[in-house]
Amino acid sequence: MSAVEDNPAEHRFELLIEGSHDVAAAYYRLDGDRIVLTHTIVPERFSGEGLGSKLAYGTFETIRASGRKAVLLCPFMAAYYARHPEYADIVAPENPLD
């Protein structure tokens, strides 16, 4: 499996799916030093193969390495975080005043 790559031109983190030309993607927008994760897409034909979790793991690790914080508007990313509280250090509240 490929590593997750940031594609700033497309505003998304990408996971190239080996053996295909398909990409799983976590879309974001920037808000100062925060990365607001808005939507995650895994091609339906790869559903159930754990690609979403691999994408989420790589996304959180990439954000951690960047020194930024993540805001989880995407329900999938929020659910992943609920199962992986070890990322509490990089998850910011939706409202920066919280």
Contact 28, 55 (CB under 8 A): no
Structure tokens at 23: 């990409």
Q: What is the mean pLDDT of residues 27-45?
A: 95
Domain boundaries, the chain: 5-87
Query: If phi over 0 gives left and psi between -120 and 50 gives alpha, with beta otherwise, what is residue 65?
Result: alpha
Contact 27, 40 (CB under 8 A): yes
Q: Token pair 């499996």 is at which residue? A: 1
User: Is residue 12's pLDDT more than 80?
Assistant: yes
User: Of all residues in the chain, what percent carry a pLDDT higher than 90?
Assistant: 81
For 5-87, CATH gives 3.40.630.30
- Band of the pLDDT at 38, cuts 50, 70, 90? very high
Q: What is the mean pLDDT of residues 49-72?
A: 96
